[in-house]
Amino acid sequence: MDKISDNDIVIPAIAVDGSYYPVGKLQAHREGILHLAVSVFVFSGEHLLIQRRALGKYHCGGQWANTCCTHPHWDEPMATAAARRLREELGFGVALAERHEVEYTADVGHGLRENERVTMYVGQADRSRLEIRPDPEEVAEVRWATAEELRGEIAERPEDFTPWFRIYCDRFPDLKI
């Protein structure tokens, strides 16, 4: 079971007692249900690969975010989801290490709300050798940025960045994820 309908992937939601139950991804965002997610951060030295989300995304289109994010499908291991989404969105894979777990809530527009327990994964790549092949349905563009550059850009134009990425940068200002 990985879909409730043709357009709603089933993801793990978190009950009050800490157990998981299946819920549609869009339902989780409409109702602000606490659910699992993953965020990936690929670095080349001090530079983080960030992406500008495609304009057609169901929320936060056109805004900059970390390398990629996703929700694990029901019964999909978190590390598998992180590696899957990196390949789907950016067309490459690197070794990923689990680093932190973060919970946050954020209004992402269009009547949708993130209420996520996020497992963060970090990878290293040589950007001079990395072949990035973004899926245009998911990613408008990519670029490399340092923590200092991101702090300045977010301070000047916070609306250019997704709510979760601003939260991550606030909690980890030196990007030592």
CA atoms within 13 A on the CB side of 105: 10
List 68, 69, 89, 169, catalytic entry: 69
- Name residue 13's beta-bridge partners: 21, 35
Cα angle at 49 between 58 and 97, to 5 degrees? 95
Beta strands 64-65 and 47-53, pairing class: antiparallel
> Residue 80 is encoded by which pair of tokens?
């598998």
List 60, 89, 116, 169, catalytic entry: 116
Q: How far apart are CA 27 and CA 3, in angstroms?
A: 12
Question: Crossing angle, helix 163-171 and helix 147-156, to 10 degrees?
Answer: 130
69 is catalytic: yes
Question: Nearest-CA neighbor of 122 among 38, 56, 55?
Answer: 38
Query: With 0-12 CB in 10 A as exposed, 13-18 as middle and 19+ as buried, what is 26?
Result: middle
Residues 100 and 75: beta-carbon distance below 8 Å? no
Catalytic site positions:
69, 116
